[in-house]
């Protein structure tokens, strides 16, 4: 009987220790997740990294230069938008098709480049380094 009682006491002690360790681990995991979420929220809420937005807009609406305006490249965005609008106006002549397709292809390629770069590389190249083309 005393062996059973000792075994039960040992098992209860081990169970208590396991519960304590699990609670400590859960608390640490919760704190880490909270810190990570806060950091991610600060990065994207403040608009520091616009990689995904610029990349998707470049792929979908590259000819309009919206992705350039998002990154703060107003002159380059205006060039793409102007070329597209001139191409639309000249499309009745036939040569305008080139003016519509070329900015679209440039925007598409830039969108793919934006999305394939790492977040840090994108930020350093296009936002901090202000590299306007490709």
Residue 64, pLDDT above cutoff 50 = yes
Residue 40, pLDDT above cutoff 90 = no
- Is 105 within the bounds of a domain? yes
- Whole-prediction pTM value? 0.60
Pick the range with the lowest mean pLDDT from 14-23, 110-119, 121-130.
Answer: 14-23
Looking at residue 96, its pLDDT comes to 73
Listed residue (52, 112, 108, 53) closest to 84, CA to CA: 108
Looking at residue 59, its pLDDT comes to 92
Q: Cβ distance 57 to 112 under 8 Å?
A: no
**2 and 61 housed in the same domain:** no
- Is 100 within the bounds of a domain? yes
- Is 119 within the bounds of a domain? yes
- What is the pLDDT averaged over residues 69-85? 89
Q: Which ranges of the chain would DSSP assign to H, the alpha helix?
A: 2-45, 51-61, 66-71, 74-90, 96-116, 119-122
Domain that holds residue 40: 1-46
pLDDT band per the 50, 70, 90 thresholds, residue 109: very high
- Is 134 within the bounds of a domain? no
- Is 102 within the bounds of a domain? yes
């Amino acid at each position: 009987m005393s062996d059973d009682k000792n075994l039960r006491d040992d098992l209860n002690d081990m169970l208590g220790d396991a519960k304590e360790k699990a609670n400590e681990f859960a608390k640490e995991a919760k704190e880490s997740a909270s810190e990570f979420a806060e950091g991610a929220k600060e990065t994207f809420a403040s608009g520091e990294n616009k990689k995904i937005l610029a990349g998707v807009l470049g792929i979908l609406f590259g000819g309009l230069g919206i992705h350039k305006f998002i990154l703060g490249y107003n002159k380059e965005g205006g060039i793409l938008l102007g070329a597209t609008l001139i191409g639309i106006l000249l499309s009745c002549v036939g040569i305008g098709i080139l003016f519509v397709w070329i900015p679209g292809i440039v925007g598409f390629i830039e969108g793919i480049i934006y999305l394939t770069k790492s977040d840090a590389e994108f930020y350093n190249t296009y936002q901090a380094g202000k590299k306007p083309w490709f």
